[in-house]
């Protein structure tokens, strides 16, 4: 995605942290990790942590997970934080992830990020799609 101009001399770039890091905290519409903060939802992938904007949060569709599918060779399990409450994933999402060899576990965002941190510390091939909560 090309940077978007916002005014004279100011360019907005896609949010991206180029590494794997545990999530330190969440709430107030965002997350803290690697001595940084990000407002909004995030994708935690093997290639880094990205700002993420699901089309209809807390619902997650297959188009929302294109980056996950692009890195499917490096992901065994995807934790999907669906906000404050657990929300089921559509059958099409579950089937597409299964076809890519990725097990998926939907859960609340808090549970998903805690599980992500544990699996990351164990050096597992884990990714997370985390919907921000207020």
Average pLDDT in the 116-121 region? Answer: 98
**pLDDT at residue 15, rounded to an integer:** 65
Domain ranges in the chain are: 14-130
CATH 3.40.1230.10 applies to domain 14-130? yes
Summarize pLDDT for 60-105 with one digit per residue, the tens.
999 999 999 999 999 999 999 999 999 999 999 999 999 999 999 9
Q: Is the pLDDT of residue 109 over 90?
A: yes
Strand 16-17 and strand 48-52: the pairing is: antiparallel
Indicate the pLDDT class of residue 2, thresholds 50, 70 and 90: very low
Query: pTM to 2 decimals?
Result: 0.87
Summarize pLDDT for 9-56 with one digit per residue, the tens.
554 446 678 889 999 999 999 999 999 999 999 999 999 999 999 988
**pLDDT at residue 14, rounded to an integer:** 62
Indicate the pLDDT class of residue 114, thresholds 50, 70 and 90: very high
**pLDDT at residue 58, rounded to an integer:** 79
């Amino acid at each position: 995605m090309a940077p978007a101009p916002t005014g004279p001399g100011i360019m907005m770039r896609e949010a991206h942290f180029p590494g794997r890091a545990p999530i330190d905290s969440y709430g107030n519409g965002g997350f803290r990790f690697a001595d940084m903060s990000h407002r909004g939802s995030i994708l935690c992938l093997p290639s880094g942590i990205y700002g993420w904007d699901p089309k209809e949060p807390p619902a997650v569709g297959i188009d929302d997970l294109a980056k996950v599918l692009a890195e499917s060779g490096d992901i065994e399990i995807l934790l999907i934080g669906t906000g404050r409450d657990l929300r089921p994933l559509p059958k099409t999402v579950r089937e597409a992830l299964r076809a890519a060899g990725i097990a998926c576990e939907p859960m609340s965002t808090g549970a998903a990020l805690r599980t992500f941190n544990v699996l990351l510390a164990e050096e597992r091939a884990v990714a997370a799609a985390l919907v921000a909560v207020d």
